[in-house]
Each structure stands twice: as structure tokens, then as C-alpha cells.
Structure 1
Amino acid sequence: MSKVAIITDSTSDIPEDLVKKLDIKVIPLSVIFDKEIFLDDGKEITIGEFYKKIRSSEKLPTTTQPTPKDFIEVYTDILKKSESIISIHISKKMSGTINSVELAKKEMPGRDIEIVDSGYVSMALGFLVLKAAQLAQEGKSKEEILKEVYDLKPKIKVLFVPSTLEYLKKGGRIGKAKGLIASLLEIKPILTLHDGEVSQFKTARRWNQAKTELINSMKTMIKNPQNLVVSVGDSDAKEDATEMYERIKETFNPKKILRVDIGAVVGTHLGPGGLCIIFYEE
């Protein structure tokens, strides 16, 4: 294990092979269907099972963050092998996870734990964690890693299209896009993250138009496609995500492109059938 351990939570949606390769510790949030509680670890309920359940459930699930005790247990174990911890998490405006982390740190005075509020979720958070973990494996210091993470943060762009606003609205994660609620049902909103919460980016009339608008928006935002790192995520919209993956590859020929499954906690708020494109230029 590296001198600096990198910890995140399950809303980062980082593919499991990269979690293992880069020795990232992922602490799961939980999703609650009525009285059934499942850890968002892909094991207690698989992603496929989750989307099948949410589509058939009359009552929308809720989510809950890990407790301070959960973090204390993980931190205590990791600090037996590592000198310090960088703990990077979902936006404080979207979840109480950072609150649990801060309470855990208070209970561990004198331990070298650095908390980072990513201001993001899903692979926008994930890209920060991957950068930190790569640098940790290279033997970089805590200070060097933090500088790179904070340098990367403003470069990350997030565009996502829910199939419906129902889940964001009912989950209380609609943020600054609440003005869209009264919009015509035909409108497909393209949303982004701004100041740590959901915000309106553009609107399209139909689903296929929204997908094209995603590509067109990327064209205006990307200066050097050869340096482009992209994540194409979906909440049980495999065909659409595969189509977007191929269109992005053909249009931009990015340096790196990942296909990502959006997990249960993020999927609870985005709802099934959504697409999420997250990218930055190295």
C-alpha cells in the first residue's frame, strides 16, 4: 500500500477493475426500498437487480450515507499500513457523507486525514479519485496529490440527461433546475453540476435530439480532443450509452474513454434510463 491511502464513497461509480488496480478503498452508501436496506456495493444488490427493482417499485427508494463509525473503522484499519489518508467524496450539497467524514476525523485527533469535498458525483468525483490514486501509487506526497486534485477539479465538465425529472424531484436533488419542473412533458433537459448541485444546461425537444445536443455541446467545450478523457455512464440505458460511446469515439478520438455503470445511489436520484457524459482535458 502507498504512503498515502485514497478513500472515496460508492457514488464515485468507478469501475471495479480500476478500484482494484489503483488500490482505492470505496465506502458504500445505502439504498432503502421500504424496509429493505442494501449497501451500494454491487454485491448486496447488483446494478441489474437494482434497476429492475426501481422500475417495478411503487414507492421510490431513498438513500443514506455511511455513519461516522463506518469511516472510523475504515480509517483506523488503513492507518495501520499508510501514513496518511485523502478522503474524497460526493458534494456536500448532495449528501451528508462529508458530514460523517468530518465527525469521524474529529474522533481521531492527531491522525493525518485530509477531507476533499469534490463538489461532484459519479465519475466527476471518480476522475478526481483516479488521479489521486495514480499519484499515490507513483509515490507522490500528500501535498503533491492534493495540488493535482484541486488543479483538475475545475477542468471537469458534467452533462447528463435523465429520462424523467421525477426521481431528481422526489429525491430532493433537483437543485437549481427546479424551474424545469413545470416545463412541458415533451422537453428533455440536459443538466449539469454547478457549485456542487444540479443545474440546468440546455433543453431538447426529444430524446434523440438531446443525444445530438450532448455531442454538439462537447464540441463547443473541448479545445484539444487529443487530450480528452471521457466517461460515458448510464442508469440502465445500455443501448443509448453504447451509441454515445461510439459517437464520441468517432467525433473526438479521445485519449481515453470509459464505459461506466451508474450505481444504485446515484441511480436512485437520476432514475432509470439516464445518460451521463463526464470529461476533461489533460
Structure 2
Amino acid sequence: MRRIILSTESGSDLPGDLAEKHDVQVVPMHVIMGGQDYLDGSLPVEDIYEHYERTKKIPSTTSTNSHEYEDFFKKIKADFPDCIIVHIGYTSKASSSFQNAVNAAEGFEDLYLIDALNVTGGLAAIVMYAVDLLEKEPAIEPARLIEKIETVIPKSRLAFIPGSLEFLRAGGRVSNAAYLGGALLKIKPCIELVEGNLVSTKKYRGKMSVVAEKLMQDYLNKYDIDKEQLYLQYSIGLDESIKRRIDVLAKEAGFENVKWMQAGAMISTHAGPGGFGIAGLEV
């Protein structure tokens, strides 16, 4: 029986302990800061925020390129001889990373690519669904595994609130007028993935402690999420009291396993400090 190896990008924010435990291979995306190119995972998130405080400029991000994918897939084949690779990629609607993987894959056999149409926890939820399938059915045919993964892609629901409008403005993601109005009224946008695109679907007003709880309630009312697993994302700076309150709400809602995931450098560059998100799979 040939082994199936799963892979994904660092933009999934898949916790290192889960990746290591299940042999999920993670290829880094890039953060460009101060004229230098850093692999996501090699740069402490705190350095991004400190850089912004000093310069009022945020880093930019770039995708994994085709040559890096080629080396990545070669290493997997070397580490797991005769394996079959199933790569579950960052949404093609927000990055060229998936297309670069497609280009690199032309030189490989037994390599399958899936566009997850999601990011961070929404992508991680799909990867962990695939992990669970493989553990339950280790002899599953690759075509059947891919079919099942593709079936849950439209059911992966991610909603998050960036931690700072100021941070978004510095990156050119909101206008000065929108920033000033939002800051004055303490408005925070909710970002969701809609057919693979990052879309602002709602605006909340108030402190993050109030907004995070409201987002949690709205999310659970809107989506019928599988109670077996819930993924909660945060960027450094989110108050611990908020996390404790969200844990209580998740338990009251009947979730059996709740996994907190810290946003890596790539996602944090877009979310800013103190962001909060929720992801899970609809039943």
C-alpha cells in the first residue's frame, strides 16, 4: 500500500504540533520587510509589529514560487519514497501560490493539487478533515480521498476580524476616510471567504471583547458547524480574557474539540495585532 502525504502552505496557520504529528508537509510563503525577504515561519510575528511601530510601514507578502514548490515536492518524494502527494492549497483567488504549484507539478507523477478556496483556519480545517479521513481509511484510493476533500471545500466557513484598522490603512487596504470614520465609531469589519474571495460581509462596533463575542454568536447562528471540531484564530495581542470567554461560548455550544491557532507572520501582516477568527466545517 502506497502512502499518501498531505501538504499545504504556511498561510493555513496549521499549528506545528499538528503538522508534525500527522506528517503534513508545510511550504512557507514569504514576508518582505525592510527590503529583505523572509520565509514565513522564520520571522517572529512581533518583529512585524515592531517594524510598523518604528516606520509606520507594514511588510508585504508574496506567494511560494514555482521553483520553491519544485524543491518542496522533490524533498517530500525523497523523505517518503514511493508516496502519493495530495497538496491542499491556499485560495487561488487571493494569491498566485496555487498556480505556481500547478506549474511546478508538471514534472511530477502521483501529485494531486486541490484549491481549497480558503485561508488560515478555513484552510487548516480542510487539511485536518483530510488527515482524519486518512487515519480512518489508510487504504483509501487517492481519487476517493480527493473527491471527499473537494466535497467539504464549500462547507469550510471562515470569519475573522482584523485587529487594527490603522494597520489595514497603513497597508493601503482601507482609505483614510474609511479609517477615520471607522476609528471614530470603533467599527471593525468582518472578513469572510466567499467563493475563495476575501469579502467584508459585516461591520461591528465596539471593543474587541464585545465584537469577538458577537462574531461568535452570529457565526454559530449563521452556520451549522460540525460539533466535532472548531478552529479559533488569533493574532498576537488578542487579550487572554477574550480567549477565555470564547472558550466558554464554544463549550456551551457543544463543541467537543476547540483548537486555538496563532496567525503566522504572513497572515498577521494582513490581520494586524489582536485579530480574532473562527473556522469550521458545516455538516
Question: Normalization by structure 2: what TM-score?
Answer: 0.86
Code of the residue aligned with 1:147 in structure 2: it is E
- Relative distance call for 1:125 and 1:191 in structure 2 (3 A) is same
Structure 2: 5+ residue runs without aligned partners? none
Name the amino acid aligned to 1:89: G
Give the corresponding residue for 1:66: 64
Runs of 4+ in 1 over 6 A off after TM superposition: 179-182
Alpha carbons 2:225, 2:280 under 8 Å: kept? no
Structure 1 residue 71 displacement after superposition:
1.0
Cα distance between partner residues in 2 of 1:50 and 1:74: 26
> Is 2:273 the partner of 1:253?
no
2:272 is matched with 271
**Aligned counterparts of 1:127 and 1:31: Cα–Cα separation in 2:** 23
Say if 1:92 and 1:98, in contact at 8 Å, map to a contact too. Answer: yes
Sequence identity percentage: 23
Q: Distance in 2 between matches of 1:245 and 1:55?
A: 29
The one of 122, 126, 144 aligned to 2:120: 122
- Tell me: CA distance 1:238–1:56, structure 2 relative to 1, closer, same or farther (3 Å): farther
Q: Report what 2:12 is aligned to.
A: 12
Q: Given that residues 232 and 258 in structure 1 are in contact (C-alpha distance below 8 angstroms), is that contact kept between their aligned partners in structure 2?
A: yes
Deviation of 1:180 after TM superposition, in Å, equals: 6.5
What is the rounded CA distance, in whole Å, between the counterparts of 2:276 and 2:69 in structure 1? 31
**What is the deviation of 1:228?**
4.4
126-135 or 241-250, which deviates more: 241-250
Aligned to 1:235: 235
Are the counterparts in 2 of residues 72 and 105 from structure 1 also a CA contact under 8 Å?
Answer: yes
Q: Counterparts of 1:132 and 1:259 in 2: how far apart (Å)?
A: 19
Deviations 1:85-116 (Å, cap 9, x if unpaired)?
Answer: 1111111121110121011012x05x122111
Matches for 1:170-181 after TM superposition, within 5 Å: 171=171
Q: CA deviation at 1:184?
A: 3.5
Query: For 2:172 and 2:6, how far apart are their aligned partners in 1?
Result: 29
Gap runs ≥5 in structure 1: none
Q: How many residues align?
A: 274
Contact 2:45 2:268 in 1 (8 A): no
Question: 1:233-259 deviations in whole A, cap 9, x for unaligned?
Answer: 111114265234323334313021101
* Kept after mapping to 2: 8 A contact 1:233/1:241: no
Q: Name the counterpart of 2:132.
A: 134
The answer for the alignment partner of 1:196 in structure 2 is 196
Deviations 1:195-221 (A, max 9, x none): 212212222221243223212213313
